[in-house]
Chains A and B, each alone.
Chain A
Amino acid sequence: MDDKPERSRRAGGAAIEGETPRNPSAGEREWEARVLQPTLEKSPERLSEFTTVSGHPIRRLYTPADVADLDFEREIGFPGQPPYARGIHPTMYRGRLWTMRQFAGFGTPEDTNQRFRYLLEQGQTGLSVAFDLPTLMGYDSDHPLSEGEVGKCGVAISSLADMETLFDRIPLADVTTSMTINSPAAVIWAMYLAVAEKQGADWNKISGTIQNDILKEYIAQKEYIYPPAPSMRLVIDTFAFGVERTPRFNVISISGYHIREAGSTAIQELAFTLRDGMEYVEWALRRGMDVDEFGPRLSFFFNSHNDFFEEIAKFRAARRIWHQATRERYGAKNARTWALRFHTQTAGCSLTAQQPYNNVVRTALQALAAVLGGTQSLHTNSLDEAWALPTEFAATLALRTQQIIAHESGVTNTADPLGGSYFVESLTGEVERGAWEYIEKIDSLGGMVAAVERGYPQREIAEASYRYQMAVDRKEKIIVGVNEYAGEDQPIEILKIDESVARRQNERLQKVRDDRSQEEVSRRLQALRHAAEGDANLMPLIYDAVKAYATLGEICDAMREVFGTYEEVAIT
């Protein structure tokens, strides 16, 4: 498709249709004529156009003329108050720092349990589970398609027994856990809740997050199982279950992270993520739910990429858009529905395999942007992640990076330190308007599910990703140590996960299958299959199956039989 709203945005002088033309003050005009022009004549600028990493043009200088239209009280306001441009808490990090939540998972549940307990000892304040690909795709470790993948890019979880081991000696009543799981989110969440119950933790009090964002799987990360409609039904089932049974759990983390990693621009990341959020709200409303009941349980997840100010503008714009959308589109009245809470991860795709220590610096800058953008929790990537999953040394350094920002840099002393900057406010407005254009385009296609089925966001991202790669190949965008300043690389130590993990995992799984009541498992899977054919909430049936030690693969298969599976039309 050839609509590229982000290309039509001009920050650099030319007036945009329907916008007030820039009207510089007499002082600015005089500076331009008497100071700037002679300088430009003597020494021209390095480039004819300066752009962000997303290709968004940036002006030479921002002045009061760039924010002349801005209504301070209405559009910027105060922290903890609509439109939340300055953050969702009145005292921001003076009250409480963000949650330092390092994503971890590899090998067997024992291996990851050990890493979790180590990270908690080092001062990490929340857990975040990375699952391996078989788990993410709803296959048991001993499925033929799991060969070579078990425990490789996350921990292998095939049954409740594995989940019990994963959280052994970790009190779920006290720690909050984020789980990056999507298609099989309901099953993995049921396992987590079963462990919490066994530990005696109160479901009314436990907190954490399941990613559960299937739309961005179709758009970007491609870990889908079922077609969109039954997938959306499962998501809304978890919303309804959560509202009733686990009021403090975040039932979804609507994610732009993977959209950005797939190569989108910052504006696309923002627009597609927020439009995904609106799609979930609309499906839940159609189910008869109350926006102010489930709205406060929705959380978001963004990428923090290299372009410092563009990222800060994106985070600030996100809050403003969500406030406007929930209020105007869905009539939300609860301030907790309006306030967009988000997790951030620094950009994995910005890390380089070459000169890996440079990644520490990139990650620090990206983390700083997330903090200046007002994030609620943060994952900082490790220096070795363009090679493999992080070693303990690299993961610790990444956590220390956050601790240095929190305790040494001073940026936590005041809320929204960059609020009021001519540049940041101007860019926030541009990013916001660019995102709304995309959101309206997707509305016009009939919503996000319809847009995904037509390949619209997928194509927009592929275009942006190719454009960026070409800019790198032509050295219009410089990556230090890669297309400029390249040199000898020192090899670094990396984490190795061998095939013995799969063997050990399969032995455990066999034991689970041997020890359980097969009859009970079959009965509960049959009940789930039957319910899937109707429209009952499937969460309680999944929970029952999990408790009988039905495996992840068996439960997902029961639903595959009813829902079928999804195949995308590949776009290149």
Chain B
Amino acid sequence: MAEKKIRVLIAKPGLDGHDRGAKVIARALRDAGMEVIYTGLRQTPEMIASAAAQEDVDVVGLSILSGAHNVLCPELVRLLKEKGAGDVPVVIGGIIPEGDIPGLKQAGIAGVFLPGTSTQEIVDFVRTLAQKRHAENNNS
């Protein structure tokens, strides 16, 4: 059986308009054979969680450069659970102080990517997360 295509939601939460990173990652994931849905700018955690649940994505990728990650990320994880999509892993990239990373992981963020990360590293990480989710869904 052909492997199920990986679906990823790339989202820009908050008021931040810096979308260079989000666009590069969206394209790199697409070039790696994944199906990518890009939300566009200024999405609330509520909008992102709804889109993730409706589109049945395997991974949500957030791009935040504004410093609002500590508020927005836990909120998104909470809303995903509320919408029955608590099994969808969330990864984040952007300007994230190192000291915030343990807190974000504790809040349920699966991966934090800092400036300078290669697109290949992100593609591999997302693929592993998605394959794990596919495997778990097949077993259940």
Residues of A within 8 A of B (CB): 133-134, 136-137, 139, 145-149, 152-153, 217, 221-223, 261-263, 349, 351-354, 386-389, 462, 465-466, 469-470, 472-473, 479, 482-483, 491, 494, 496-497, 499, 567-568, 570-572
Contacts and interface: CB of A to CB of B under 8 A. Distances in A.
A501 to B, nearest CB: 11
- The 9 A-B residue pairs with the shortest CB-CB distance, nearest first, are A148-B71, A222-B17, A152-B67, A148-B68, A570-B40, A133-B15, A482-B116, A572-B26, A572-B38
Interface residues of B, number: 38
Contacts of B14: 133, 148-149
B70 A148 contact: yes
A217 B14 CA distance: 17
A353 B116 contact: yes
Interface of B: 10, 14-20, 22-24, 26-28, 30, 36, 38-42, 44, 66-68, 70-72, 95, 97-99, 114-116, 118-120
Contacts of B114: 353, 386
Nearest to B73: A148
B24 A466 contact: yes
A494 B118 CA distance: 24
A567 B40 CA distance: 9
B119 to A, nearest CB: 6
A572 to B, nearest CB: 4
A147 B41 CA distance: 16
Nearest to B71: A148
24 contacts: A133-B15, A133-B16, A134-B15, A145-B44, A148-B70, A148-B72, A149-B66, A149-B68, A152-B67, A263-B24, A352-B116, A389-B67, A469-B24, A470-B119, A473-B120, A479-B116, A483-B118, A497-B67, A568-B41, A570-B19, A570-B39, A572-B10, A572-B26, A572-B27
Contacts of B24: 263, 465-466, 469
A499 B71 contact: yes
Given A388-B97, A496-B97, A223 B23 contact: no
A472 B20 CA distance: 15
Nearest to A223: B17
B96 to A, nearest CB: 8
Contacts of B72: 148
A354 B114 CA distance: 9
Given A386-B95, A499-B71, A572-B23, A221 B17 contact: yes
A386 B66 contact: no
Contacts of B17: 217, 221-223
B20 A262 contact: yes
Contacts of B42: 145
Contacts of B10: 572
B15 A149 contact: yes
A568 B40 CA distance: 8
Contacts of B41: 222, 568, 570
Contact of A137 (B15, B28, B118): B15
B116 A354 contact: yes
Contact of B19 (A139, A222, A470, A497): A222
Contact of B20 (A133, A263, A353, A387): A263
Given A148-B72, A462-B23, A153 B67 contact: yes
Contacts of B70: 148
A472 B17 CA distance: 24
Contacts of A149: 14-16, 66-68
Given A149-B66, A351-B115, A387-B97, 13 more contacts: A134-B15, A136-B15, A145-B44, A153-B67, A354-B116, A387-B98, A466-B27, A466-B28, A473-B118, A497-B67, A570-B40, A572-B22, A572-B38
* Residue among A465, A482, A497, A570 with max Cβ neighbours from chain B (10 Å): A570
Contact of A386 (B15, B20, B38, B115): B115
A261 to B, nearest CB: 7
Contacts of B39: 570
Nearest to A479: B116
Given A133-B15, A572-B38, A152 B23 contact: no
A262 B30 CA distance: 20
A153 B69 CA distance: 12
A478 B92 CA distance: 25
Contacts of A137: 15
A469 B98 contact: no
Nearest to B65: A153
Contacts of A148: 14, 68, 70-72
A470 B27 CA distance: 11
Contacts of B99: 494, 496
